C-alpha cells in the first residue's frame, strides 16, 4: 500500500465530506485539515470548488460503472445481479452517513454548474440503463419476479435505492435501508 498522491487523497476526502454533508456543507478548510496541508494548497490541484466537484462526479461515474461491470461478470442470473447491486448501495452507506454522491449534490442543484448537473443526470442514465437491461434479463430467465415493464422497473428501483439511503442516513440506522429494499430482494428468486 503505497502512499496516495495528494490529489487522490483530496478526492477521497472530498467525496466523503460531500456525501456526508452536501456541496454547501464542506469547505476547503475541512479538506485541508484532514489532508494535513494548508487550504490555499488545494487550489493547486483543483483551481475552484466546481472543478473539484466535476472531477469527483467523473470518478464516481467510472467507479459505479466499473462496479456494474464487475457484478455482471461475477453473477450468472439477473436476480443475483440485482441483489448484488442492492448490496453495493448498502455497502456504500458505510457507517450510515455517506449517501450517494449524486443524491448529496441534488439538494444544491441550483448553485451547481450546468456541467455538473449534466453529469448527475448522466449518472442516473447509467444506472437506469443497467437496471433496465437487468430487469429484462430477469424477466427472460425468470430470476426476477414481477412485471415486464423493465424501463419503469428501473426508474422505480433507482428512486427507491436513493430514498432508502436518505431514510437510513437520517436515522443513522442501516436497518431503514434494509426494510425499504426488503420486498425488492424477495423478488430476486435466484
Query: Which residues contact a copy of itself (rule: CB under 8 A)?
Result: 20-22, 24-25, 97, 99, 102-104, 106-111, 117, 120-121, 124, 147, 149, 151-153, 155-156, 158-164, 166-167, 169-171, 176, 179-184
CB nearer to DNA: give 46 or 177: 46
Task: Give the chain's radius of gyration (CA, Å).
Answer: 18
C-beta of residue 85 within 8 angstroms of C-beta of residue 158: no
Give the end-to-end CA distance of the chain in Å, rounded to a whole number. Answer: 37
- Residue 115 binds DNA, judged by CB under 7 A: no
Helices of type H across the chain: 6-21, 28-35, 39-45, 49-74, 78-92, 101-106, 114-141, 150-171, 174-187
CB of 176: closest distance to a copy of itself in angstroms?
Answer: 7
User: Which of 12, 16, 20, 27 lies at the binding interface for DNA (CB under 7 A)?
Assistant: 27
Q: How many Cβ atoms from other residues are within 10 Å of residue 54's Cβ? A: 18
Angle made by CA atoms 88, 32, 54, in degrees to the nearest 5 = 50
Positive or negative torsion for Cα 119, 102, 160, 130: positive
CB neighbour list of residue 50: distance below 8 Å, 6 or more residues apart: 112, 113, 115, 116
Tell whether residue 110 is a contact of DNA (CB under 7 A): no
Candidate segments 4-12, 56-64, 126-134, 168-176, binder of DNA by CB under 7 A: 4-12
Cell 443475483 belongs to 80
- Looking at the Cβ atoms of 92 and 108, the one nearer to DNA is 108
Q: How far is the CB of 58 from a copy of itself (least distance, A)?
A: 17
- Is the Cβ of residue 21 or residue 75 nearer to a copy of itself in the bound state? 21
Residue 20 or residue 65: which is nearer to a copy of itself going by CB? 20
Per CB under 7 A, does 45 bind DNA? Answer: yes
Interface with DNA includes 38 (CB under 7 A)? yes
> Which residues of this chain interact with DNA, rule CB under 7 A?
5-7, 26-30, 36-41, 43-45, 47-50
Amino acid at each position: 500500500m503505497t502512499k496516495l498522491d495528494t490529489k487522490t487523497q483530496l478526492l477521497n476526502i472530498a467525496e466523503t465530506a460531500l456525501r456526508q454533508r452536501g456541496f454547501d456543507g464542506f469547505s476547503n478548510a475541512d479538506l485541508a485539515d484532514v489532508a494535513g496541508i494548508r487550504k490555499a494548497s488545494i487550489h493547486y490541484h483543483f483551481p475552484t470548488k466546481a472543478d473539484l466537484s466535476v472531477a469527483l462526479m467523473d470518478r464516481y461515474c467510472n467507479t459505479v460503472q466499473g462496479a456494474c461491470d464487475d457484478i455482471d461478470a461475477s453473477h450468472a442470473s439477473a436476480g443475483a445481479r440485482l441483489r448484488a447491486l442492492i448490496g453495493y448501495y448498502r455497502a456504500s452507506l458505510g457507517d450510515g452517513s455517506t449517501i450517494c454522491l449524486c443524491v448529496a449534490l441534488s439538494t444544491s442543484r441550483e448553485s451547481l454548474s450546468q456541467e455538473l448537473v449534466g453529469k448527475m443526470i448522466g449518472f442516473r442514465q447509467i444506472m437506469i440503463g443497467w437496471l433496465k437491461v437487468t430487469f429484462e434479463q430477469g424477466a427472460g430467465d425468470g430470476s426476477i419476479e414481477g412485471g415486464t415493464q423493465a424501463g419503469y422497473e428501473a426508474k422505480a428501483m433507482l428512486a427507491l435505492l436513493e430514498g432508502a439511503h436518505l431514510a437510513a442516513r437520517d436515522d443513522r440506522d442501516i436497518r431503514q435501508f434494509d426494510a425499504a429494499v426488503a420486498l425488492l430482494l424477495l423478488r430476486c428468486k435466484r
